Amino acid sequence: MTEKQAHIVEVGPRDGLQYEQPVPLQAKIRLIEQLIEAGVRYIEAGSFVSPKRVPQMADTAEVLNQLKRHDQVTYCTLTPNLKGLELAQAHQVKEIAVFASASEDFSQRNLNCSIAESIAQFTEVIHQAKAYGMQVRGYVSCVLGCPHEGRIEPQQVIDVAKQLYDQGCYQISLGDTIGVGTANQARQLVQSLSSVIPVTDLALHFHDTYGQALSNICACLDLGVRTFDSSVAGLGGCPFAEGASGNLATEDLVYCLEGQGLSTGLNLHQLIQAGDAICQVLQKRNQSKVAQALRHKINI
C-alpha cells in the first residue's frame, strides 16, 4: 500500500447487521456480492458466536457456504473462542478476528470475563488459527470511552493492544465503540500506540454516535494510518445510546478520503446502491449523508 492508498474494511455484514433486525439469508449474500462489485476487497462476512446471544449471525455458516468466493477478497469472521475457530476453519475461512476491551467493566459485561481472562482465551485462538495458516486481526473496543467507566486512558489501550499484537495479531483495530471520542483524543491515542506498535499495523474503527468519526479519522491521517473500518449505509446502531447512529457509513468515509487525495479503489455510486438495497430490506433510511445527497444524481 502506498502513502496515497487507503484500505477500507467493510464491517456492514457483521458489525452492522448484528445490531439490526434479522434479514433473510439471500439479502446478506446479495449485500456482500454488491459490496464486492463496488470494489470492496475486505469484508466481515459474519461471526461464529452463540446464536442465542447474537441471533442475527446464526446463519454465518450458510452465508459462507452459498457465497461465490473471489480469490482477491478476504472474507473475515469474528471468532471469539476455539469452538468458533473450528467452525471458521471448517468453512474455509482464511482470516478471523478476535476482540478484547480496554475497559474492565465492559469486558465483564460484554464477554463475561476479565480483560486478562479474555486475552488468555484469545491467545489460544490466535495460536491455533496460525497453526491452521489463518491470519488474525485484533480489535480493541472502548478505546476512547466506555459506557460504564467513562474516559479510558491511553495506557489501558496500549496494555491490551500490545498483548494481542505480541500474540500474533497482524493488525490492531482501535474501536471507539460508543463514538464519544474527539479529534485530539484520537490523535493522542494513535501517537501513544505508535511507540509500541507500528502505525502501519493500526486501523481505526470509529463509530459516529456523536458525529465525530470523520474528524477523528482526519486527525490521524498525517500520522500514517491507512486502514479504516466502516459499514455501508451506516448499518448498525449504538446499543448504549438508544436511537443513535453507530457505525460510520462507508459512503461517507470514501467521499472524505478521496477528497483528501487518497485512493480507496471503491465505486461510490455502487456503494450507495448496495446501501440502499439492504436498507429497503430493513425498511429503514440509509444513514449515509453522502448517499442522501447524491442519490438523485444516480437515478436511485
| Candidate list 76, 142, 238, 279, residue with the active-site label | 238
User: From CA 117, how far away is CA 122, in angstroms rounded?
Assistant: 9
∠ CA(250), CA(256), CA(262), 5° rounding?
A: 100
Those residues with Cβ within 8 angstroms of residue 296's Cβ, 6 or more apart along the chain or in another chain: none
The 10 Å Cβ neighbour count of residue 261 is 10
Is 238 catalytic? The answer is: yes
Distance, C-alpha 82 to centroid of its chain: 21
∠ CA(93), CA(39), CA(19), 5° rounding?
A: 60
Measured in Å, how far apart are the chain's first and last C-alpha atoms?
Answer: 33
User: From CA 294, how far away is CA 300, in angstroms rounded?
Assistant: 9
Catalytic residue IDs: 238
